[in-house]
Amino acid sequence: MATSAADFPELPYADGDFFAFEQLLSGKEQDRLAEVRDFLAREVKPIAVDCWNRGEFPMDLVPKLAGLDLVSPVRRQGYSNLFAGMLHAEATRADASIATFLGVHDGLFTGSIELLASKEQQDEWLPDIYALKKIGAFGLTEPLGGSDVAGGTRTTARRDGNNWILNGAKRWIGNATFSDWVVVYARDVADNQVKGFLVDTTLAGYSATKIENKISLRTVQNADIVLTDVVVPDHFKLANANSFRDVNKVLKVTRLSVAWQAVGLQMAAFDVARRYAVERQQFGRPLASFQLIQDQLVRILGNTVSSMGMMVRLSQLEDAGEAKDEQSALAKAFATDRMRESVAMGRSILGGNGIVTDYGMAKIFADAEAIYSYEGTAEINTLVTGRAITGISAIV
């Protein structure tokens, strides 16, 4: 007799949280996470594949996201880092592109203001940022500078009276085609230190051009930015962004978010693969009835649970103020490596249907490649961890 997922909708492990990590959240946080999950199911998942296929960002979603009030859950709203991580995983589970939009605006851009701006600057800028009335971007990576950008930032800043003159280029800048502001990190020609600036995207000499032909996170509007004698008033120089060591304060926190994205994408792969395996009929029986398919599903689940377990502990350390850079580096490298393996198995379970976006898995599979690379490649994060455990730097 044929069976389908509809015949047993109440399976206790259908959501992929096999070890019930969500129960570590407070009751308030669990309720809030459920609210966000319902929103994502209603407003994001139904449009995710179509937006991805067209490579367009759903701007009409921004007011709805603003109404959900998701920006700065830890510093502004008092939630735990564990909750913030699980929230980011849920957003990625629904759509990695929307999660990346939030990660850029909230983690990288807002985090730069919260961690590196003065109190006066924060009071002036943050209300509109929190309300998504001003959308932000984060300008660090350059056309010729990725992993080596700490010592190789080519964009320059020159003091000119009460202004700064910025010249250079940035690449892969998410949200930058429609952002109101972008935090640009540039090397001060006077002291050779990297400093941060809040740049209004309407300023003369600023331009942003969408990067076309991506195979990953197609909904995200990444851009090439060119700065040609852009005049930035001194007030818009972030008061506490005076070296790359300061920039790392932002990256340390956002690296956690990307590792949580790797958890969320594995949950998405498990969701799609499990349902497909139960509903798909082969040789007159459900695909899930074959041992090799169950093996792959369990391996995806194991990768997800192990990644989540590491992230839960790291988030707890972050809440206690004890998390270290090398721990974030290991988590990002490990979770994204497991993610790559999980989405490949998920695609395999769907066979030919795994290479078309109609079934969801092809999008998940492709999006994993961007998450694997950004916020520090696996290789660089491995070397950061290796330096911590050996005392020897292998970063050339």
Tell me: the pLDDT tens digits for 262-304?
999 999 999 999 999 999 999 999 999 999 999 999 999 999 9
| pLDDT of 150 higher than 80 | no
User: What per-residue confidence (pLDDT) applies to 269?
Assistant: 97
User: What per-residue confidence (pLDDT) applies to 4?
Assistant: 46
pLDDT band, residue 260 (cuts 50/70/90): very high
**226 near 169, Cβ under 8 Å?**
yes
| pLDDT of 111 higher than 80 | yes
Tell me: the pLDDT tens digits for 220-243?
999 999 999 999 999 999 999 999
Full DSSP string of 120-185: HHHHHHHHHHHTTSS-EEEE--BTTBSTTHHHH---EEEEETTEEEEEEEEEEETTTTT-SEEEEE
**273 near 350, Cβ under 8 Å?**
yes
Q: Which residues contact 125 (CB under 8 A, 6 or more apart)?
A: 113, 117, 134, 181, 198
pLDDT band, residue 156 (cuts 50/70/90): very high
| pLDDT of 110 higher than 80 | yes
Q: Which two tokens stand for residue 350?
A: 């769907």
User: Could you count the other beta carbons within 10 Å of the beta carbon of residue 149?
Assistant: 19
Tell me which of 5-9, 98-102, 120-124 is least confident. 5-9
| pLDDT of 29 higher than 90 | yes
Q: Which two tokens stand for residue 240?
A: 């506490």
Going by DSSP bridges, is the β-strand pair 181-188/163-173 parallel, antiparallel, or unpaired? unpaired
Quote the mean pLDDT of the chain. Answer: 93
Tell me: the pLDDT tens digits for 360-396?
999 999 999 999 998 888 898 999 999 999 999 998 7
Q: What is the mean pLDDT of residues 34-49?
A: 96
Tell me: the pLDDT tens digits for 189-199?
999 999 999 99
| pLDDT of 336 higher than 60 | yes
Distances (CA, A) of 71 to 88, 296, 371: 11, 36, 21
**168 near 154, Cβ under 8 Å?**
yes
Helix (H) or strand (E) holding 370: helix 361-373
User: What per-residue confidence (pLDDT) applies to 3?
Assistant: 45
Q: What is the mean pLDDT of residues 331-359?
A: 96
| pLDDT of 9 higher than 60 | no
User: What per-residue confidence (pLDDT) applies to 1?
Assistant: 38
pLDDT band, residue 17 (cuts 50/70/90): confident
